[in-house]
Amino acid sequence: MANNWAPKTKVDWFLTVLRVLALGVVTVGLLAFIAQQISVDNPFARLINPDATGLTVAQFRGLVISGLSQGAMYGLIALGYSMVYGVLGFINFAHGEVFMVGAMTGMITSNKLDDAGLWESNFIGSLLFIVVVSMLVCTLTAVIMERVAYRPLRKAPRLIPLITSIGISFFIQNTSVVLLGPTSKAYPDMPDWLTAKRTFLEIEGTKILVICVAALAMLGLWLLVERTKTGKAMRAVAEDQEIAGLMGVNVNRTIVKVFAVGGAMAGVAGILWGVLFRSVIHYTGFLPGIKAFSSAVVGGIGNLGGSMAGGLFIGLAESTGPLLILEPLGVSGVSQLRDAVAFAMLIGVLLLKPSGLFGERLSAEDRA
Amino acid sequence: MTTTAGLLIRRVPAAWRRVVRIGALGALGQVFISLSGMPVRLDVREIVVPILSLGYLVVLAAPLVVGVLLGRRPEHSGFLANPPSNRDLVIGATTGGLMAGGGLSILALLLAGFDLRDPLINWSPQLLEFLSFGRGTGAGFIVWLVIGAGLGMVGGTLRLATSRTQKVIMTMALTVVAAAILESLVVDLVEGVKLEALVEWMYAPRGGVTLLGAAVLAIVSGVLSFVGQGRIKTVQARVQAMEGPKRTRVNLTLIAGVGVVMILLPLLVGKLTNELLANVGLFVLLALGLNVVVGLAGILDLGYVAFFAVGSYSTAVLTAATSPRIAPELPWFVALILVIFIAILVGLFIGAPVIRMRGDYLAIVTLGFGEIIRLLFLSDWLSGWFGGSQGITAIDGVDVFGLLTVDGTNPRRVFYLVLFFCAIAIYISWRLERSRLGRAWMAVREDEPVAEAMGINTVNVKLMAFVVGAVLGSFGGAIFVAKVGSVFPTSFLILVSIIILVVVIFGGMGNIFGVIAGAVVLIGVLGGPKQPGLLVEFSEFKLLIYGALLVWMMLARPEGLIPSARRSRELHQEEFLQDAWLRGEIDTDESNDPQTAGPTQTTDSDGGP
């Protein structure tokens, strides 16, 4: 339906205008950026934004690296959205909250380790430990969620599980408030050798660490889905639940495994959040959750490699977008608008290419 | 499951496994409630003086519920297993209650022995004192076991009684609790009509129902419930059976009666109660607006707060002298006309891009729009227009023809203003539901492709839903500004959308009365996003409860408290079809003649996963 670009009704005209406008803003912004990079006194750049300053190479590199590291984290969360959507055909809105649970678990465990003095003496070991604990807790959360709330609704109209997942998201957030308190909580300090900027590219070690961990987790997931029997069962259930069941796949157990794997990935992402931002609060899961969902859509929902690529894309877009497009256009206070940019990306992608950049992989029924 | 442990579990009879499962869940629930801080925080609110506080009520509910659940005869006990005898049921329920109480016993021991206050903020000496009744850990340990077992037994026994007795007991308990919850309302009301003596004996000086009051209330409500059972239904059926002018007369009398009560009520109660009524009214208005979008047209709009925000900000900009960029200082009612136009435009602007999307993508995208609008109001970029995080303050109230001003200092007037707009919203919803457009909405909701095939322009129809919802939401925003006298971006969090959604779903999507009842019960008792309800002590926990309520409603009763007949048929399509099949109304055999197959068969569309 949406691929039909020839406008027919007024709404189609409106949408076409909107698409053209969106592309126009992006193009003009980019051109202005290029103009101001060539020379700040360039008349075109001056015309669009009289206060243009331009970016230094180091600033730009910083933006790209932080975009990539956050994007890797979004990609990991996006896997959970994508897998559940691929198999059950609904948005598990509470998945962002699973990620928050991971970040909280990491905070609690790492602070306990810090109290015991292990955090400083054996950082790598401690990090591994909190990743494992967080993966376990998140897996458990996701599995309980599936069992309590989603399994009874498997035959319900599609919007019912979505509304339920909103309720769960609300519940988990506020559980964190009542159990752990409404204040923001900090991770212990990262060791100096990690936070120091490396000489060769002047990149902070934490960001490299985040990208590496995300890549490892992704590799593990890819091996699981493509190379094991469990993965085969998952793909079969995603394709067609009923027929997979007839072929001897235990559908219930496979769905539980899908939730478990998605939860584990969110657990890893939660720790990465802690490493990157070192502070966590009960609504930590909301925005990254939405952005990760956008990543899953951008990459084509149900498509795992696409999710990771979509995550990197969204991460880059939100970190460079404001300064690359909005600042040259003369919008002030752009860094406040980075979340708005992320939402605009989501809307833009659904408007321009709802099936994602790399194509959806959904069962025949869901595509309808 | 082929492990030895699995085999061992299989050996245990199914009935006992059920007891253990539900009992353990009860225990977990108890521990969760305790660690959430509810009991300690709610202990200050008395229900029955001096024996029961709200804090103990929430903790004691768990074993009782476990008992009631276990007292129910399992429906799928299998063909071979004998249904359990009454004695076994009571024993099972008692064991379940014992387990649920045991959760607290163990928690009390752990509290005394370990210190986990670092992550868990409610791991406190106060909780230990609460759990041990101030008499030391050992006493607490045993007392909770006894209480759990006792309540489990009571719950289980309750289930064995006839349904009539059950109803009477339920009514008695609910009346006492409701009397305690509504205390401030009742006291305020009797002071208004100068009949304090009527309830003086009922309420204790520091809040809560007295023992005497509780006893009298229980007896009166019990007797009334025993005598009155079935009569309300009879009257209802008689009214329902009426037709033509007679029915209209009954309806008009009812509406007039409710109207008179609504007009008289604020005169009798004080400022605080009026404030509460105004808040409830505001949410009735918002919920009615969302009901058009979600309930009638079936579009899950999670960014409804956007319309509320736009209504508020445009009213503020148009009426306030302090508005940063343009300050036309229009009178409120003139501004309202412009606000309606702005709302229509915003409704179209948000609606048009999303209208073609899949239902679930639409939900997320509207949520995105809701956030974007708030972020834009918050941003420095537009702060020249909307004041950024400082918002717009010192906004005048509504000037009604130079006679009087409606603003936050006089909640009674605000309530009348809200009431006026609620009446408009109710009328609009009621007329729309029965109009061509309303039927088109319901057709789109039930099956979009079929509706399109029937010649409905689904795009326009769905856009209209957005527009109507936006206009009603902007009414809410305009009143909100007049009431509060200021706007800040923090008033328009996504949270507001979700709470309105809970109200609509709890009350019953698509049913005007349901939505109103939902707003009255939830906002009135628990409170809105920032507005306190009758249970002020709950304000810390209300969001938790809203979340749990949403999940529970979806699982147990997706059609809401007061369902719309058509909507519940959609939600329970399979059961409905089964029932119809059992009654012989439809036949699954396709070769059947079309007359008996009837129209019901066409509703079987996308029930699949």
Neighbour tally for B467: CB within 10 Å:
21
**Quick one: closest CA in B to A178, which residue?**
B36
* Domain boundaries defined on chain B: 12-160, 271-492, 572-603
- pLDDT > 70? residue B575: no
pLDDT score of B604 more than 70: no
**Nearest chain A residue to B359, by CA:** A159
Q: Give me the pLDDT at residue A176, please.
A: 93
Q: Is the pLDDT of residue B44 over 70?
A: yes
Q: Can you tell me the mean pLDDT for A290-301?
A: 87
Amino acid B88 reads D
B179 touches chain A (CB under 8 A): no
Pairwise CA distance, residues A32 & A54, whole Å: 10
Q: Which two structure tokens, joined as six digits, stand for B57? A: 């009520």
Q: Is the pLDDT at B601 greater than 60, yes or no?
A: no
* Rounded Cα–Cα distance for residues A137 and A105 (Å): 7
How many Cβ contacts (< 8 angstroms) between chains A and B?
A: 180
Contact predicate A79/A98, CB 8 Å? no
Out of B37, B378, B570, the one facing A178 most closely (by C-beta) is B37
Q: How far is A99 from chain B (nearest CA, A)?
A: 18
What residue type is assigned to position B280 of the chain? V
Give the three-class secondary structure for A46. Answer: helix
All residues of chain A having their beta carbon less than 8 Å from the beta carbon of residue B369 are 343, 347
pLDDT digits (tens, 9 = 90+) for A66-113: 889 999 999 999 999 998 888 888 889 899 999 999 999 999 999 999
User: Considering only A161-175, A220-234, B41-55, which range has the smallest mean pLDDT?
Assistant: B41-55
pLDDT score recorded for residue B153: 86
Mean predicted confidence (pLDDT) in B566-595: 60
Write b or e for each residue in A106-130: b if 16 or more Cβ atoms lie within 10 A of its Cβ, otherwise e: bbbbbbbbeeeeebeeebeebbebb
Residue B168: the pLDDT is 87
Residues 6+ apart with CB under 8 A from B211: B48, B49, B50, B51
Residues of chain A positioned with their CB less than 8 A from the CB of B555: 149, 152-153, 164
Amino acid at B76: H
> Does the pLDDT value for residue B73 go beyond 80?
no
Predicted local distance difference test score (pLDDT) of residue B500: 94
B433 in contact with chain A, both atoms CB, cutoff 8 A: no
What mean pLDDT comes out for the span B12-16? 73
Is B20 at the interface with chain A, CB within 8 A? no
With CA atoms as reference, the chain A residue closest to B459 would be A11
The answer to whether B203 and B215 are in contact (CB under 8 A) is no
CB B375 within 8 A of CB B490: no
Average pLDDT estimate for B408-434: 90
Cβ <8 Å between B609 and A163: no
Task: Name the more confident of A1 and B271.
Answer: B271
Beta carbons of B543 and A167 less than 8 Å apart: no
Side-chain half-sphere exposure of B394, counting CA atoms within 13 A: 7
pLDDT top residue among B371 and B207 = B371
Instruction: Tell me how far apart the terminal alpha carbons of chain A are, to the nearest angstrom.
Output: 10
CA-nearest residue to A289 within chain B is: B364
| Residue A5 Cα, gap to closest chain B Cα (Å) | 13
Min Cα separation B377/chain A (Å): 11
> Where does residue B322 rank: exposed (0-12), middle (13-18), buried (19+ CB within 10 A)?
middle
Give the alpha-carbon dihedral of B144, B148, B151, B156, to 10 degrees. -170
pLDDT at B90 over 90: no
Which residues are bridge partners to B53 per DSSP?
B46
How deeply is B254 buried, as exposed, middle or buried, from its count of CB atoms within 10 A (0-12, 13-18, 19+)? exposed
The residue of chain B nearest to residue A171, with distances taken between CA atoms, is B547
Q: Hey, of A5, A166, A295, which one would you mutate to test binding to chain B, going by the most B CBs within 10 A of its CB?
A: A166
CA closest to A18 among chain B residues = B353
The stretch B562-567 carries a mean pLDDT of 74
Mean pLDDT value across chain A: 84
Check pLDDT > 90 for residue A117.
no
Determine the Cα–Cα distance for residues B57 and A356; give it in Å rounded to an integer. Answer: 52
- The answer to whether the beta carbons of residues B510 and B567 sit under 8 Å apart is yes
The packing angle between helices A338-352 and B359-378, to 10°, is 150
A47-59, pLDDT tens digit by residue? 776 666 667 777 7
User: Region B103-109: what's the mean pLDDT?
Assistant: 85
Min mean pLDDT across A315-319, B113-117, B261-265 is at B113-117
What is the mean predicted confidence (pLDDT) over A331-335? 70
Give the CA angle between residues B410, B416, B418 to the nearest 5°.
100
Torsion-angle region of B303 (φ positive above 0: left; ψ -120 to 50: alpha; else: beta):
alpha
Burial of B24 per CB tally in 10 Å (0-12, 13-18, 19+) = middle
Contact: B355, A159; criterion CB under 8 Å? no
Q: Which of A249-258, B452-461, B534-543, B592-601 has the lowest mean pLDDT?
A: B592-601
Name every residue whose Cβ is closer than 8 Å to that of residue B424 and which is 6 or more positions away in sequence: B475
Per-position DSSP letters for A325-356, written without gaps between them? IITTTT-SSGGGGHHHHHHHHHHHHHHH-TT-
Tell me B292's DSSP state.
Answer: I
Helix (H) or strand (E) holding B48: strand B46-48
Assign residue B400 a region (left: φ > 0; alpha: ψ between -120 and 50; beta: otherwise). beta
Give A114 to chain B, closest Cα distance, Å. Answer: 13
Give the angle B477-B481-B482 at the CA atoms, nearest 5°: 120
| Region B297-308 average pLDDT | 91
User: Yes or no: is domain A55-367 CATH 1.10.530?
Assistant: no
* Cα angle: A308, vertex A313, A317; to 5 degrees: 150
Residue of B nearest to A157 (CA): B607
Give the DSSP H/E element, type plus range, for residue B148. helix B137-160
| Predicted local distance difference test score (pLDDT) of residue B473 | 94
Q: Which residues of B touch A334 (CB under 8 A)?
A: 381
Whole-angstrom Cα Rg for chain B:
27
Q: Chain B residues with CB inside 8 Å of A22's CB?
A: none
Token pair recorded at residue B503: 């109200």
Cβ within 8 Å, pair B381-A332: yes
Mean pLDDT is lowest, of A89-103, A179-193, A279-293, B122-136, for B122-136
B590: helix, strand or coil: coil
Ranges A91-100, A358-367, B588-597: which has the least confidence: B588-597
Cβ–Cβ below 8 Å for A169 and B547: yes
Q: Could you tell me which of A351, A155, A162 has the C-alpha nearest to residue B299?
A: A162
Distance (Å, whole) CA A28 – CA A22: 10
- Residue-level pLDDT at B92: 81
- Contact between B508 and B563 under an 8 Å Cβ cutoff? The reply is yes
Using a CB–CB cutoff of 8 Å, tell me whether A322 touches chain B.
no
Does residue B369 belong to the interface with chain A, where contact is any CB pair within 8 Å?
A: yes
Q: In angstroms, what separates the C-alpha of A259 from chain B's closest C-alpha? A: 17
Which chain B residues are Cβ-neighbours of A111 within 8 angstroms? 118
What sign has the CA pseudo-torsion B129, B135, B141, B145?
Answer: negative
Q: Is B424 part of the contact surface with chain A (CB cutoff 8 Å)?
A: no
Q: Which of A64, A76, A65, A63 is nearest to A311 (CA)?
A: A76
Separation in Å, CA of A247 to nearest CA in chain B = 19
Q: What is the pLDDT of residues B540-564, one digit of tens each?
A: 888 999 999 999 999 888 888 887 7
Interface contact B116, partner A, CB < 8 A: no
- Cα separation of B574 and B446, whole Å? 14
Q: pTM for the complete prediction?
A: 0.88
Q: Are B39 and B57 in contact (CB under 8 A)?
A: no
- For residue B591, what pLDDT band results from cuts at 50, 70 and 90? very low
* B171-175, B481-485, B563-567: the lowest-pLDDT one: B563-567
pLDDT value at residue B586 = 59
- Helices marked H in chain A — which ranges? 10-38, 43-48, 57-88, 95-115, 118-121, 123-145, 159-180, 192-195, 205-227, 229-239, 241-246, 251-277, 286-298, 304-321, 338-352, 364-367
Domain residue spans of chain A: 55-367
Q: Does B119 touch chain A (CB under 8 A)?
A: yes
Lowest-confidence region among A241-250, B384-393, B467-476, B493-502: B384-393
Q: Are A155 and B607 in contact (CB under 8 A)?
A: yes
Instruction: Inform me whether the C-beta atom of residue A90 falls under 8 Å from chain B C-beta atoms.
Output: yes
What pLDDT was estimated at residue B600? 40
Distances (CA, A) of B296 to A241, A245, B299: 32, 37, 8
Closest partner residue to A149 among B367, B459, B551, by Cβ? B551
Whether chain B has a CB inside 8 Å of the CB on A357: the answer is no
- Residue-by-residue DSSP string for B459-485: HHHHHHHHHHHHHHHHHHHHHHHHHHS
pLDDT band at B341 (very low <50, low <70, confident <90, very high): very high
- Rounded CA gap, B105 and B142, in Å? 7
Q: Is B203 helix (H, G, I), strand (E, B) or coil?
A: strand
Cα gap B548→B320, rounded to integer Å: 40
> DSSP string spanning A158-221?
THHHHHHHHHHHHHHHHHHHHHH-SS-EEPPPPPHHHHSBPTTT--BHHHHHHHHHHHHHHHHH
B119, B378, B505 member nearest A180 (Cβ): B119
Complex ipTM? 0.88
A57 touches chain B (CB under 8 A): no
Sorting pLDDT into bands at 50, 70 and 90, what band is A366?
low
Yes or no: say if B152 and B95 are a contact pair by the CB < 8 Å rule: yes
